[in-house]
Structure formats: structure tokens, C-alpha cells
Amino acid sequence: MKKILLLHTGGTIGMMPSQNDQKGLQPGQLGNHIFDLVPEISELAEVKIEILDDIDSSNVTPKHWEKWLARFKSLYNKFDGFVITHGTDSMVYSSSAFSFALGQTEKPIVFTGSQRPLTHIRTDARDNLINAIEISCRGPKEVSICFGNRLLRANRAIKLSASDYVAFESFNFPHLAKIGLEIEGVAEKQAKGGKPMWHSDFKEGVFCFKIFPGLSADIIRSALQSKACEGIVLEAYGSGNVPSLEPTVLNIIEDAEALKKPVIIVSQCPHGRVDLDLYECGIKAKKAGAISGGDMTREASIVKLMHGLGLGLIGKKLANYFLEDISGERSF
Ligand code: ASP
């Protein structure tokens, strides 16, 4: 039997109603109940559980990633695969952080969670947990998200629904597997795998903003000039277009370049990719110093920028790091 470590970080999956009904769902000791509630998991693997944290994932910060990764690293050699239970709200950020910190891995690392707590009737937690444990025994050697009968590459996924049991999607990359009667697709999509890099530092000084008609240059400029801001992810229109008739945004990109603060351009569209050579509006942004996020998600771009800055990269080195495919996060 494979040895699997289940690391719990929190989220709805382990939540219980508070004593006082007004307070809503609160974190609640999943580890104490999991073998009683889902005894099947011990038929699939020899599972050990450790509680890393028990928080709503809205409270997760890069400090949590660094702490979890340090513990994960110390346990990595002792197990064949890993399941990380996490809230759905920031799951794509944390799982992307793991993918960048490791770069590659020789073992399946599967994030999962649920829309309804494990203790509730009609919960999706049981199926997600059982599927995640099974995938962690024989799934792709990479960081993935197993949720709602889908297996997705973590750094390609976005949270799509706050209510549907199929809560995640990856628009720019095929699903790693479809989970039905059989688990289909896992074998042919196996990542090559390799020894992790363990670069687990993340800088928090990243600011993300979206372009819209009438965006105030003053607000953005004051954020850019703040010492706390070390880099920007800019959500542009379509294939990476920013307004060019009125120079506000282009000036901001030039100012950022002068301050040696990288500006990454991602698209507001969840499907498709940034191509800064396609329109004059993109060409001007590129000339001003913007770096293309290609077909990366906004979420993975934010985490990758935090990671690049955490590696101490600036200028051309940071741009090259960003344009490179580190962990399967970009194809263009
Ligand atoms: N707020 C919860 C969390 O992200 C939502 C969930 O788990 O579905 O921790």
C-alpha cells in the first residue's frame, strides 16, 4: 500500500457550525473525524494526517506558504504522495505557490477541499477526498487540484463558482484527468517529474489592478510609488491591450520601469492569451517595459511574481524568469 500524507490547512471541508449560529461556519478539527467519516480512505492507502493549520483560506498569506513548505519539505521523503486539504477561496494561490517553490516533483501533490463541510448532508467533501487520495497514489507527478470530478494542473486553475460542486476550471490547459467510473487521462498526461528545487520564499509587495474605462492614474501612481509596492500585475483588455490614445497607463508602465518595479500584463479574459505584438496598444505597452503573462492565469501570475521577487530577481533576470515556463504554468 502507498504511504500518503494528508496535510490539512483549513477551509470549508473541515468546518463545523459555530455554537452561536450567528457566526457561520468556522474551522473545526477535521483531523479528529476524518477516519470515522470517510473510513474508505484506509482501503486506498496507508494515510497519515497532520494539521498544519485550521483556517479559512481567505486568511492565507505567503507567510503560511513558507511555513507549510518548510514542514512539507521535512516530510517529503517519507511518503509516496500527498493530499493537501485547503479552502476553495485561495486554493489556486496556495497550490500555485507550491508548484513554483518546487518547480518539479517526483510525487503527486493533490490539493482538494469542498463546497460543503464533511459533516454536512449532501457534502462533496467525501468524494473529493476519496478521489484526491486515489490520485495521490498514482496521479501525475505535479501539483494538481482534484475537485468536482476534475483533476486540473494547479497553476492553470481558477475558482469559477462559489456554489457549484464543480468549482474550478482551467481554460488554457486541458484537464489532467476526468474522474468518472474510471479515472481517465492520468497516464498520458504524466509530467516528467524530478527533484524539487525548494525555493520557498515569497515577497508580498505585489499589487494587482484591472484596466477599465476611466481608471484613475492618480490612484495607481500612488500605489506604484509606495515603498511597499515591488511589482505590479496589470489586468489588461483582451490580448493584453492598454489604452494608448490617452497615455495614462503607458506612463505608469514607464514610471514603473524607471523605478525597477516589474509590470506583468495578464488578460481580463479567462480564456486566450496575452500577445503584446498583436495591436498597437500592446506594442506600446511592451516598449514601455511591460512583461507578457502569456496564457498564465492572473492568480498564478501574482504568485509567480511574488516568487521571482522572493528569489531576489530584478530587471532583465526577473523578466526572463517570468517568461520562462517554470512549472507548466505557461505555454506561450
Ligand atoms: N471560505 C472557505 C475557505 O476558502 C470557502 C471554502 O473552503 O470553500 O476557506
Q: Which of 9, 12, 85, 88 is catalytic?
A: 12
CA distance linking residue 179 with residue 98, whole number of Å: 23
Could you tell me the pLDDT band of residue 323, with boundaries at 50, 70 and 90?
A: very high
Q: Would you say the CB of residue 113 lies under 6 angstroms from ligand 1?
A: yes
Q: Which fold has domain 206-323?
A: Rossmann fold (3.40.50)
Q: Would you say the CB of residue 11 lies under 6 angstroms from ligand 1?
A: yes
Q: Would you say the CB of residue 289 lies under 6 angstroms from ligand 1?
A: no
Q: In this structure, which CATH number among 3.40.309.10, 3.40.50.2300, 3.40.50.1170, 3.40.50.620 belongs to the domain 3-185?
A: 3.40.50.1170
Sequence-distant (6+) residues with CB within 8 A of 111 are 83, 84, 85, 86, 91, 94, 95, 98, 132, 143, 144, 145, 146, 154
| Predicted local distance difference test score (pLDDT) of residue 31 | 73
Q: Three-class SS of residue 235? A: strand
Distance 115 CA to ligand 1 centre (A): 7
Average per-residue pLDDT in the chain? Answer: 93
Query: In sequence order, what DSSP letters do the residues of 15-70 get, joined into one string?
Result: EEE-SSGGG-EEE--HHHHHHHH-TTHHHH-EEEEEEEEEE-GGG--HHHHHHHHH
Is the fold of 3-185 the same as that of 206-323? yes
Is 90 exceeded by the pLDDT of residue 28? Answer: no
12 in catalytic set:
yes
Q: Would you say the CB of residue 89 lies under 6 angstroms from ligand 1?
A: yes
List pLDDT tens digits, range 135-164: 999 999 999 999 999 999 999 999 999 999
Residue (of 68, 52, 57) closest to 11 by Cα position:
57
Mutation test of ligand 1: which of 13, 25, 56, 160 has the most ligand atoms closer than 8 Å to its C-beta? Answer: 56
217-225 vs 248-258: helix crossing angle, rounded to 10: 10
| Predicted local distance difference test score (pLDDT) of residue 40 | 92
CA distance linking residue 186 with residue 199, whole number of Å: 27
Q: Would you say the CB of residue 115 lies under 6 angstroms from ligand 1?
A: yes
Q: Would you say the CB of residue 57 lies under 6 angstroms from ligand 1?
A: yes
List pLDDT tens digits, range 63-74: 999 999 999 999
Q: Would you say the CB of residue 128 lies under 6 angstroms from ligand 1?
A: no
Determine the atom of ligand 1 nearest the C-alpha atom of 11. 9
Could you tell me the pLDDT band of residue 1, with boundaries at 50, 70 and 90?
A: very high
CB 190 within 8 A of CB 179: no
Ligand 1, atom 3: closest residue by C-alpha: 87
Side chain identity, residue 114: S
Is 90 exceeded by the pLDDT of residue 4? Answer: yes
Mutation test of ligand 1: which of 8, 12, 299 has the most ligand atoms closer than 8 Å to its C-beta? Answer: 12
**Of residues 18 and 173, which shows the higher confidence score?**
173
Ligand 1, atom 1: closest residue by C-alpha: 56
Query: How far from 23 is each of 121, 123, 125, 317, CA to CA, in Å?
Result: 20, 20, 22, 47
Least confident of 87-96, 103-112, 172-181: 172-181
CA 15 to chain centroid, in Å, comes to 22
Q: Three-class SS of residue 86? A: coil
| Predicted local distance difference test score (pLDDT) of residue 246 | 84
| Predicted local distance difference test score (pLDDT) of residue 189 | 54
Side chain identity, residue 304: K
The model's pTM is 0.95
**Of residues 16 and 133, which shows the higher confidence score?**
133
Domain residue extents for the chain: 3-185, 206-323
